[in-house]
């Protein structure tokens, strides 16, 4: 049976491994647009996870964790008028498209 490696200690603020902590280098960026960052619960454990860092940098932002077994999150914020869901993949949503559908 393979040995389990103890998880590396993580920064409580940026959630990166302590030896990669970026907290001292994260700038505070003002934005007129409110940004909601939707992150899957499993993404937060990855070393490459930058959602929390982006949320710490963007002053007018909120990180929403989605997909936890408890099923609790602020997904109703995504149904507010004027909300756009941007995803770094195809297909591209045209500007005249209807608002995003509520996630289930």
Mean pLDDT, rounded, of the chain:
81
Q: pLDDT tens digits for 68-96?
A: 777 666 778 878 888 877 766 666 666 67
* Structural domain spans, the chain: 32-69
Q: pLDDT tens digits for 10-31?
A: 899 988 889 989 999 999 999 8
The helix (H) or strand (E) run that includes residue 61 is strand 61-66
Q: Which of 57, 52, 48, 49 is nearest to 25 (CA)?
A: 57
Contact status, residue 83 vs residue 77, Cβ threshold 8 Å = yes
Residue of 88 and 57 predicted with greater confidence: 57
């Amino acid at each position: 049976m393979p040995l389990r490696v103890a998880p590396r200690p993580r920064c409580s603020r940026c959630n990166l491994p302590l030896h990669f902590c970026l907290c001292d280098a994260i700038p505070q960026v003002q934005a007129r647009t409110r940004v909601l960052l939707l992150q899957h619960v499993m993404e937060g454990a990855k070393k490459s996870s930058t959602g929390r860092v982006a949320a710490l940098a963007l002053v007018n932002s909120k990180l929403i964790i989605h997909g936890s077994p408890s099923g609790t999150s602020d997904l109703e914020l995504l149904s507010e008028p004027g909300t756009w869901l941007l995803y770094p993949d195809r297909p591209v949503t045209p500007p005249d498209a209807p608002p995003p559908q509520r996630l289930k």
